[in-house]
Amino acid sequence: MTNLSHVMSADDHKKVIEQNENVMICCGRMGPMCIPVYGAMEELESEYQNIKFYDMEFDTPDARVIRNAPECNGFMGLPFVVYYKNGKIVHASSSILSKDQIKSVLDKHFQ
């Protein structure tokens, strides 16, 4: 597990995006494409106080809330990373992301 807060269920997911204005969720596994993204998120958490950072286990049935999102349609690689503003998806990406790539999305959508 990561040091991020965890989204454990579809109900959790709903609460998280309803109760927080800015949310980033990385839905993946503890694999080579996902671990660097989790690490970057852990580093960015203190830098971006206005954003809530979460992870979600890709293989749980409840992860369908991210896996089946229209914005994730066609994604091939893990993790699926979804950014929410006021409960709506404003950006989604898949596969490995660098800290700089994540920062550019955060700066664009959450400033």
Residue-wise pLDDT tens digits, 74-108 = 999 999 999 999 999 999 999 999 999 999 999 99
Q: In percent, how much of the chain has pLDDT > 70?
A: 100
> The tokens of 23 are what?
């949310």
Instruction: Enter the pTM of the model.
Output: 0.97
Q: How far apart are CA 36 and CA 20, in angstroms?
A: 24
Beta bridge partners of 73: none
pLDDT at 11 over 90: yes
Q: How sure is the predictor about 1, in pLDDT bands with cuts at 50, 70 and 90?
A: confident
Among residues 111, 104, 106, 99, the alpha carbon closest in space to that of 43 is found at 99
- Domains defined for the chain, CATH in brackets: 5-106 (3.40.30.10)
Q: Which two tokens stand for residue 67?
A: 């896996």
Residue 4 CB neighbours (<10 A): 18
Q: Are 88 and 26 in contact (CB under 8 A)?
A: no
How far lies 88's CA from each of 10, 36, 38, 66, 92, in Å? 15, 25, 22, 12, 11
